[in-house]
Structure 1
């Protein structure tokens, strides 16, 4: 796995853990927390959504789903 992919996966995992810790958060809050752009956060959230780990019940607000996750 190349360095960029590894860095992205680490960030996606951190975003998931941040949402899990905070409850419901906005895209802007995530971007501010991780020092990235809204677009980068949206790409990360797309990965998490595709895998059924987060959902957006209200536009721009995110929370985790009930899908079990084994974090290593």
Structure 2
């Protein structure tokens, strides 16, 4: 795995953990917390959504799903 892929996966994991710890958060809060662009935030959220780990009950707000996750 190349360095860029590893960095992206670590950030996606960190975004998931941030949402899990803070409850429902906005896209803007995530971008600000991680110092990333809106586009990068959307890309990370898409990865998490595609894997069924988060959902957006209200546009622009995110929460984790009930899917069991083993964090390593």
**Taking structure 1 as the reference length, what is the TM-score of the superposition?**
0.99
Deviation at 1:31, TM superposition (A): 0.2
Aligned-partner SS, 1:70: coil
Paired position in structure 1 for 2:64: 64
User: Which structure 2 segments of 5+ residues have no match?
Assistant: none
Paired position in structure 1 for 2:53: 53
Paired position in structure 1 for 2:21: 21
**Taking structure 2 as the reference length, what is the TM-score of the superposition?**
0.99
**Structure 1 vs Structure 2 CA RMSD:** 0.3
Consecutive aligned runs of 4 or more in structure 1 exceeding 4 Å deviation: none
CA distance, structure 1, for counterparts of residue 4 and residue 50 of structure 2: 20
